[in-house]
Amino acid sequence: MLQLDRILFPVDFSQRSTAAAPHVMTMGRDFNAEVIMLHVLQMPPLWYGEFAPVELETLDAQQLIQSRQKALDQFLSRELPEDTGVHRVAEEGDPATVIAEYAYRNGVDLIMMSTHGYGPFRRLLMGSVAAKVLHDAECPVWTDVHEETSFPRESRESVLCAVDLTEESLPAIRWAAAFARGFDAELTLVHAIPALAGPVAPGETRYRNYIADHAREYIGDLQKKAGTSARICVGGGKIAETVRSAALQHEADLVVIGQGHLHETLGGLRSNAYAIIRQSPCPVVRV
């Protein structure tokens, strides 16, 4: 079974942080993990906003951190009480940098955070802090459903892992398989082939079958190396849309994606990974 001993939960006192708390509580309970709630205070630069330099000089960072620590001690105290293994830490600096470095220094196994996507336009955007953490953090990063409403999933019956045709998919496959085994969940590997999108032109059937069969054969070889025997789903179309459709079809409770292969075949972390997270009907873990 996958071992998660320490979970990092960055918060900014927003409604989205509150919405993510039940997910964190469930994950911490399922793995009997220590949960660290981290708030990062970012001091404004001298030129920022309407502050005059003289006013900024009077700001005491230590006092502000102490004030934020007091607020943090009360934040989500009922949802995540200290007697359940939750610790609260306030630090100062660039939020994304502090989050990634804190996770590295303290042996965090999973970062759980919201993407701050909500409303008719905000749902199309990825918060800059979440984006940078997804890119920089060395441990897996969990993100909530990128919509205005979300709910904690008690079910752990179906896990979907997006793969490409490189060995860089192996870490994601192994992580997804270990997670699925721990809950006796069904694991499905999904691969998208954009070239197969659209109606089949005359004479293309054999060509399309060859591409799809080659993809299944390669993924089968990956599974041998990963020690898994998951179901394989190959679809034609845009990557994020194919992953979403597969997640809906298989009623996935979690989608797992890899960082390495997303930098290459899937077109870069800032494009397809973000699109997968925005469109996924369930939480996503970037491994």
CA dist list (Å): 154 to 24, 25, 26, 86, 182: 12, 11, 7, 20, 14
Q: What is the mean pLDDT of residues 250-276?
A: 71
Q: What is the mean pLDDT of residues 111-134?
A: 69
Instruction: Give the burial string for 125-164 (b: 16+ CB within 10 Å, else e).
Output: bbbebbbbbbbebebbbbbbbbeeebebbeebebbbbbbb
Q: How far apart are CA 285 and CA 238, in angstroms?
A: 20
The per-residue pLDDT of the chain, averaged, comes to 85
Q: How far apart are CA 23 and CA 26, in angstroms?
A: 5
Helix axes 95-105, 128-136, angle to 10 degrees: 30
Domains of the chain: 6-143 (3.40.50.620), 158-286 (3.40.50.620)
pLDDT at 260 over 90: no
219-252, pLDDT tens digit by residue? 999 999 999 999 999 999 999 999 999 999 999 9
125-141, pLDDT tens digit by residue? 457 888 899 989 999 99
Q: What is the mean pLDDT of residues 255-260?
A: 86
Q: Which residue(s) pair with 186 in the sheet?
A: 158
155-175, pLDDT tens digit by residue? 789 999 999 998 989 999 999
Higher pLDDT, 241 or 199: 241
